[in-house]
Amino acid sequence: MTTTTITTTATAASILAIDLGKYKSLACLYHSAQKLSFLSFSTTRKELTQLLERHRPAVVLIEACLLAGWVHDLCLALGVKCLVANTASEAWKFKHTKRKTDRDDAKRLAELYVLSQLPTVRVPPPETRQRRALIEHRQKLVGRRVAVQNRIRAIFVSQGLPAPRGAAAWSKTGLAGMAARARPLAECEVLELWRGRLHLALTELQQILALIDQAEQKLDELAKQDVDTQLLQTIPGVGPRTAETVAAFLPEPERFQSGKQVSAYGGFVPRQYQSSELDRRGRISKRGPKTLRKLLVECAWCLLRYNAWARAVYQRLTHGGKTRKKQAIVAVARKLLVRCWAMLRDGALWHDPQTGPKPKLSPSKQRRQAEAQRRRQAKLQAAPA
């Protein structure tokens, strides 16, 4: 989500700042710096609707959290302006505070808005949020699958048996071979409880695989209806999972002004500490959607096999050696994100600068090249024979 700073247009008496909680929330009615009123209410649609209809504020301020989506939609449905504060900004770092309460949080929202210093984020439409949630749910299922696979390996290793290795071990044939060693837990003696644990783990693995298949089938249906996902799949090495993730997290590419903003949104820019002559840059900030960043890095490894452009960038950054491989892969992932953004912005197919046709130059570049060509010809004619 893009971070911006909102300029205050409403009067201070019409501000309603809410510190949202799962069950109880605290609202701050901001009249002035000396006149504040607080009230608590249950975090339900009914009570929030009653609160908004009773006070009719000009603006509602909330923090970015799990509840922010439906609260934002409810405010818009009632015709009330709602701003969602960016909790990843510096204003929400409580390093030296002696007290932090719900009242302090709600009051801080109102005060920052009055000072025109409230950093906000853009709230995507409900359809985009639902699609992102399904993508992240599928990623959590994949994490559970990896955890169960590691548990199965540990069972084999603890019994002195060869541990499953490679993708073939998790095929139907490999799982059938492991199931031959398993036994229902109720039928196991004390010395063979490991067979029962193996049976439980294999059953759990089968359930998780079925859930992943359901999620991927639905995502495939959505991808067939999404032009942006199909456009990104024209990139060699980019599969459906990465394409749909980039399309879901960049639904409005025109809101970014440059590739640097896209890189910052993905968390691929370095952390910076500057003081006087000291200017130190560290690792990437890792701000923004971690699911997007994770899939792009995984995809970057695959690009080395299928994409000539990615191989050229990787070899240039590693100088053909074995050092700084991880840094080079992160750089490839960042460049891939920027190119995906450019494709979505322009609606253009993938262009490989290594093997594809050269793109048409802009009139300014054509003019500069023509002038450079004339200077070279003039220099050759003026040179002595």
Distance CA 162, CA 179 (A): 14
Judge if 79 and 172 occupy the same domain: no
Does 366 have pLDDT greater than 80?
A: no
- The helix (H) or strand (E) run that includes residue 121 is strand 118-121
Length of the chain: 385
Judge if 19 and 116 occupy the same domain: yes
User: Tokens at residue 3, please?
Assistant: 């971070």
β-bridge mates for residue 281, sequence order: 272
Tell me, yes or no, whether 362 lies in a domain. no
Distance CA 3, CA 121 (A): 5
Closest to 85 measured CA to CA, from 107, 52, 100? 107
Total-model pTM: 0.82
Domain of 96: which CATH number? 3.30.420.430
Q: What is the pLDDT of residues 166-195, one digit of tens each?
A: 999 999 999 999 999 999 999 999 999 999
347 by Cβ neighbours in 10 Å (0-12 / 13-18 / 19+) ranks as exposed
The separation between CA 358 and the C-alpha centre of its own chain, rounded to angstroms, equals 32
Tell me, yes or no, whether 58 lies in a domain. yes
Distance CA 16, CA 30 (A): 6
Q: What is the pLDDT of residues 6-29, one digit of tens each?
A: 434 444 458 999 999 999 999 999
Judge if 211 and 304 occupy the same domain: no
Start-end of H helices in the chain: 45-55, 68-77, 102-114, 126-158, 172-181, 193-224, 227-232, 240-249, 259-266, 290-306, 308-318, 325-346, 363-382
Distance set, CA 31 to CA 11, 60, 76, 268 (Å) = 9, 14, 23, 41
Range of lowest pLDDT (43-52, 122-131, 357-366): 357-366
Residue ending a domain, choose from 180, 198, 225: 225
Distance CA 217, CA 48 (A): 37
Backbone φ, ψ for residue 250 (5° rounding) = -125, 60
Tell me, yes or no, whether 19 lies in a domain. yes
The parent domain of residue 201 ranges over 127-225
Tell me, yes or no, whether 114 lies in a domain. yes
Judge if 179 and 118 occupy the same domain: no
Judge if 51 and 140 occupy the same domain: no
Judge if 273 and 323 occupy the same domain: yes
% of residues, the chain, pLDDT over 70: 90
Indicate the number of domains in the chain: 3
Judge if 220 and 244 occupy the same domain: no
Per-residue pLDDT, averaged over 271-280, amounts to 81
Task: Provide the pLDDT for residue 358.
Answer: 59
